[in-house]
Amino acid sequence: MESVVWELATAQRHKAHDVQVVTLNRVFGDDSAMTLPARENLDGLDVVRIPFFGSSRYPIAWRVMRHIGAADIVHVHGLDFFFDFLAWMAPLHRRHLVVSTHGGYFHTGYAARLKRLYFPTITRLSLSRYAGVATVSEADDRLFRSIRSRGISLIENGVNIDKYRNAAAHVPTKVMIALGRFSSNKRLDRVIAFVAALRRHDPEWRLKIVGRPADLSMADVVALADAAGIRDAVEVFTSPSDLKIRKLLGECSVVVSGSDYEGFGLAAVEGMSAGLFPVLSDIPPFRRLVEQTGQGMIVDFSNPRSAAAEFQSCWQEIAAHYDSQRSAAMAAAGNYAWDRVSEQYETFYQSVLGTKVRAILDVPVGVTTIPEAVELLDDRVQNEAPSTVIFANAHTLNQATSSERTHAALRKAIVFNDGVGVDIASRLLFGKSFPDNMNGTDFVPYYLKQTRHRLRIFLLGGVPGIAERAAENLANIAPHHEIVGCSHGYLSPRGTVDMVERIRQSQADLLLVAMGDPKQELWLTDHLPKTGCRLGIGVGGLFDFMAGAVPRAPAWVQSMRLEWLYRMMQEPRRLWRRYLVGMPIFLLRVGKQWIGGARVSGAME
């Protein structure tokens, strides 16, 4: 965890953020109990250390409140006293809180029954004060989603791949290294038993154990090697420097971990960055790592004899292609570099503050002005991958809450805010309105007049004849574009297939779909990539307005943001339920989100 905090804080400083780390003033497991300096500048990073008392499993450190008053965001790492205390004190400090899970507190079996009771009760309650939860592994993601359904994003830990890059032995050696804390969950006993079994096949194998004491001391680890009868083949190094670890890695070809619990598997990736072949226990984070990278092997360390035989049968192949194996491991580790992960955290923080995107009912709604939106869509037109644009009002977001398919469609799209209901939600959840009301009826014509591109446009939707009449009006408004096709929106399954082909043959750049929500959003999600269009926009009632079939509200009604009332009075039988029932339901759901604390959408993962 210390490595994660250091790397993330360093990346944030490089982005010109003002970062301060608040931590404890003594090292757990340090027999000397030396008090560290109260404040220190480490390579430009401001580190504040505060006293604590009580158990190392739940250290009490009240003074943290003195150091967070100026923060925009307080990022808590791990679930201990800081996590609970800052949640309970939220009404006093009024800071935006986020947390990285780091496995929660399930690394060991200690107090297992109490943990099982505490997690769905006290931890669940504390989480309600956190705007965002960053789960660092798929296992953590499943665990925390069991007690909180929203405001969770999977952001797997980054790795400093430069620290040990290319440090492994350049020729195959029969030396393994185990990296990490000396703690019971790392199952060093099983690793040592595995090496003992391996040496019965080939006595040249040796093991280096590198880490710092936790609930096991160096003497405990040495005693395990003595009990296995391989003390002469095991070297133990306590808290060595990174330079010393690089030197040790230069003697090794394999990184080994028998851990029975990992939040992510940082040490395994660090070993891969050096060029080591990973041999790992059968736990979800390690299985995911091997599946994603194609590197290493999973063995059952609880059966050391079988695990040793399985590895021994693979070693000859590994040694025979050692150079390519070594290079492949380093390349795979590059996928976990901190520059990528720090960008994910940057997006995470911005979502919490609502600067670029605001999560409303777990849908990320973009924060943009109308001119900025024009630039955004112009940039997307130049991309090869097609983009869908959705204008989300309260009804749209209600639909997304009721339908997972609609929810998924919105989370994949560019979503703009539309209407007074969404603006109320923004003010309640983030304390501020959206910069502009981005309703499609006004924005789409504006975009077509302002875009720097000359577009080929296809109109799909409405009753027969409406799209054609809307196209005539559109051609008058923005004559520099070309209308390449029109069709009503009443399509059979066979008709949909034919329509997709017709749009593709038209070579349209922009597809406007007016089918009402959520039908138009789902149609675009399912079919836009096959049409060849670069941009698809769900436009709702735009065609009806442009064709003159439905009148717009007077300008003064629009300025008062009462167009919804005007429309309901025109079509009461169709719209009364949406506005008189749907809007209160929407606001109740937003209120529930406010109480639950979530300000982050899982879409950013």
In this structure, how many other beta carbons lie within 10 angstroms of the beta carbon of residue 209? 26
Query: How far apart are the C-alpha atoms of 571 and 539, rounded to whole Å?
Result: 19
User: What single-letter amino acid sits at 290?
Assistant: V
pLDDT over 70 (residue 29)? no
The tens digit of pLDDT for each residue in 539-564 reads: 988 999 899 888 777 888 878 788 87
pLDDT over 90 (residue 208)? yes
Asked if omega into 584 is within 30° of 0 (cis), the reply is no
pLDDT over 60 (residue 157)? yes
Spacing of C-alpha 2 from chain mean position: 20
The mean per-residue pLDDT over the stretch 350-363 comes to 95
Which pLDDT value is given to residue 367? 97
CATH number of 2-154: 3.40.50.2000
Classify 236 as helix, strand or coil: strand
Do 536 and 438 form a contact (C-beta atoms < 8 A)?
A: no
The tens digit of pLDDT for each residue in 373-410 reads: 999 999 999 987 899 999 999 999 999 999 999 999 99
Q: Which residues pair with 297 in a beta bridge?
A: 279
pLDDT over 50 (residue 315)? yes
pLDDT over 50 (residue 156)? yes
The tens digit of pLDDT for each residue in 47-104 reads: 999 999 988 888 999 999 999 999 999 999 999 999 999 999 999 999 999 999 988 8
Query: How far apart are the C-alpha atoms of 309 and 304, rounded to whole Å?
Result: 8
Tokens of 358: 């605001």
Q: Where are the beta strands (DSSP E) in 436-481?
A: 456-461
Query: How far apart are the C-alpha atoms of 87 and 278, rounded to whole Å?
Result: 39
Which pLDDT value is given to residue 449? 95
Which pLDDT value is given to residue 146? 95
pLDDT over 90 (residue 339)? no
Do 213 and 238 form a contact (C-beta atoms < 8 A)?
A: yes
Q: How confident is the model at residue 172 (pLDDT cuts 50, 70, 90)?
A: very high
Helix-helix angle 284-293:322-333, to 10 degrees: 110
- pTM of the predicted model, to two decimals? 0.80
Q: Which residues pair with 99 in a beta bridge?
A: 76, 133
Query: How far apart are the C-alpha atoms of 539 and 547, rounded to whole Å?
Result: 14
The mean per-residue pLDDT over the stretch 187-196 comes to 97
Which pLDDT value is given to residue 605? 42
For the four alpha carbons of 28, 30, 32 and 36, in that order, the dihedral sign comes to: negative
User: What fold does the segment set 175-336 form as a domain?
Assistant: Rossmann fold (3.40.50)
CA distances from 100 to 21, 183, 594 (A): 15, 21, 21
Classify 561 as helix, strand or coil: coil
Which pLDDT value is given to residue 457? 97
Q: How confident is the model at residue 171 (pLDDT cuts 50, 70, 90)?
A: very high
CATH 3.40.50.2000 domain position(s) in the chain:
2-154, 175-336
Comparing 50-54, 121-125, 336-340, 348-352, the range with the smallest average pLDDT is: 336-340
Helix-helix angle 242-249:266-274, to 10 degrees: 60
Which pLDDT value is given to residue 30? 58
